[in-house]
Amino acid sequence: MTQNIKTPWTQKDLLGLRDLSVAEIELILDTAKSFSEVSQREVKKVPVLRGKTVVNLFLEPSTRTRVSFELAEKRLSADSIGMASGGSSMTKGESLWDTIANIEALKVDIIVMRHGSSGAPHRVSNYTKCGIVNAGDGINEHPTQALLDMFTLREIKGKIKGLKVVFVGDILHSRVARSNVWGLTKLGAEVVICGPKTLIPWGIEELGVKVIHDVKKAIDGADAVTLLRIQMERQNETLFPSIREYASTYGMNTELFKYAKPDAILMHPGPVNRGVEIESALADSAQSYILKQVTNGIAVRMAVLYLLSGAIKNEK
Amino acid sequence: MTASEKQVLDAGGMERVLARIAHEILERNQGISNLALIGIRTRGVFLAERLQKKLYEIEKKEVPVGILDITLYRDDLSEVGPKPEVHETNIPFDLKGKAVILVDDVLFTGRTIRAALDALIDLGRPKVIRLAVLVDRGHRELPIKADYVGKNVPTSLQDRVTIRLKETDGEDEAVISGGPKA
Chain B residues in contact with A303 by the CB 8 A cut-off are 86
Flag whether the ipTM exceeds 0.90: no
A10 in B contact zone (CB under 8 Å): yes
B43 touches chain A (CB under 8 A): no
Percent above pLDDT 70 for chain B: 97
Decide if B87 and A311 are in contact by the 8 Å CB cutoff: no
How many CA atoms are closer than 13 Å to the CA of B169, on its beta-carbon side?
14
Q: Please, are residues A134 and A141 in contact by the beta-carbon 8 Å criterion?
A: yes
Cβ of A6 within 8 Å of Cβ of B72? The answer is: no
On the question of pLDDT at B168 being above 80, the answer is yes
B58 touching A (Cβ < 8 Å): no
Which residues lie across from A30 on neighbouring strands?
Answer: none
Mark residue B139 as left, alpha or beta (left: phi above 0; alpha: psi -120 to 50; beta: remaining).
left
Contact A1 B82 (CB under 8 A): no
DSSP single-letter state for residue B80: S
Using the Cβ of B160 and the Cβ atoms of chain A, whether some distance falls under 8 Å is answered with: no
- The predicted model gives A270-288 an average pLDDT of 94
Report whether B137 contacts B112 (CB < 8 A).
no
Q: Which residues does chain A have within 8 Å of residue B168's beta carbon, measured at their own beta carbons? A: none
Contact B88 A309 (CB under 8 A): no
For A9-40, the pLDDT digits (tens) are 999 999 999 999 999 999 999 999 999 999 99
| pLDDT for position B76 | 86
Sheet bearing A53-58, strands edge to edge: A79-84, A53-58, A110-115, A131-137
Instruction: Kindly tell me if the per-residue pLDDT of A94 is higher than 90.
Output: no
For every residue of B15-39, DSSP letters joined together read HHHHHHHHHHHHHHHTSSTTEEEEE
The answer to whether the CB of B59 falls within 8 A of the CB of B32 is yes
Whether A4 has a pLDDT exceeding 80, the answer reads: no
> Which three-class secondary structure state does DSSP give residue B123?
helix
CB contact under 8 A, A8 and B82: yes
Give per-residue pLDDT as tens, B64-111: 999 999 999 998 887 767 889 999 999 999 999 999 999 999 999 999
Per-residue model confidence (pLDDT) at position A5: 55
Radius of gyration for chain B, computed over Cα atoms and rounded to the nearest angstrom: 16
CA A20 to chain centre: 14
Task: Tell me: pLDDT of A316 over 70.
Answer: no
Closest-CA residue in chain A for B81?
A310
CB contact under 8 A, A4 and B82: yes
B71 in reach of chain A (CB within 8 A): yes
B173 has which bridge partners? B164
Output the pLDDT for position B179. Answer: 64
Identify the pLDDT of residue A3.
Answer: 45
User: Most B CBs within 10 Å: which of A48, A77, A109, A300, as the mutation test of the B interface?
Assistant: A48
pLDDT at A315 over 50: no
Print burial letters for A111-120: b (CB count within 10 Å at least 16), e (below 16). Answer: bbbbbeeeeb
User: Which residue(s) pair with B172 in the sheet?
Assistant: none
Q: Which residues pair with B128 in a beta bridge?
A: B99
A79 touching chain B per CB within 8 A: no
Report the predicted TM-score, pTM, of the whole model to 2 decimal places.
0.91
pLDDT in tens, A57-87: 999 988 899 999 999 999 999 999 998 877 6
Arithmetic mean of pLDDT over chain A: 92
Residues of chain A with C-beta less than 8 angstroms from the C-beta of B69: 2, 34
* Min Cα separation A232/chain B (Å): 41
**Extended beta strands in B10-146, E state:** 35-40, 65-68, 99-107, 128-136
- The CA–CA distances, whole Å, from A265 to A177, A227, A283, B68, B171 equal 17, 11, 11, 32, 44
State the average pLDDT for chain B: 93
> By the CB < 8 Å criterion, does B158 face chain A?
no
Minimal CA–CA distance to A29: which of A134, A141, A151, A159? A151
3-state helix, strand, coil in chain B (%, to 5): 30, 25, 45
Query: What is the average pLDDT across A160-172?
Result: 97
Average pLDDT over residues B108-126: 95
Rounded to an integer, the average pLDDT of B42-46 is 95
Task: Look at strands B173-177 and B6-9 and give their pairing.
Answer: antiparallel
End-to-end CA distance of chain B: 14
DSSP state of B83: P
Residue A103 has pLDDT above 90, yes or no: yes
Percent of residues, chain A, with pLDDT higher than 70: 97
Nearest-by-Cβ selection for A311 from B82, B89, B122: B82
Among A9, A51, A306, whose Cβ lies nearest the Cβ of B78? A51
Inter-chain CB proximity B112 and A1 less than 8 Å: yes
Q: What's the DSSP call for residue B114?
A: H
Asked if the model's pLDDT at residue A8 lies above 90, the reply is: no
3.40.190.10, 3.40.50.2020, 1.25.60.10, 3.30.2320.50: CATH of B6-74+93-177:
3.40.50.2020
Bond prior to B64 in cis (omega within 30° of 0): no
What domains lie within chain A, and their CATH numbers? Answer: 17-141+295-309 (3.40.50.1370), 143-293 (3.40.50.1370)
Residue A99 CA to residue A115 CA, distance in Å, equals 13
* pLDDT recorded at residue A128: 94
| Local confidence band at B43 (pLDDT 50, 70, 90 cut-offs) | very high
Higher pLDDT, B2 or A53: A53
Does any CB of chain A come closer than 8 Å to the CB of residue B77?
Answer: yes
User: For A169-213, how does the pLDDT look when each residue is reduced to its tens digit (9 = 90+)?
Assistant: 999 999 999 999 999 999 999 999 999 999 999 999 999 999 999
Tell me what the mean pLDDT of segment B131-147 comes to. 97
| B 123-142 residues inside an 8 A Cβ radius of A | 123-124
- How many whole angstroms separate alpha carbon A267 and alpha carbon A281? 14
Contact predicate A157/A224, CB 8 Å: yes
Report CA A29 to chain centroid distance, whole Å: 13
**Between A and B, how many residue pairs show a Cβ–Cβ distance under 8 A?**
66
Residue of B nearest to A10 (CA): B82
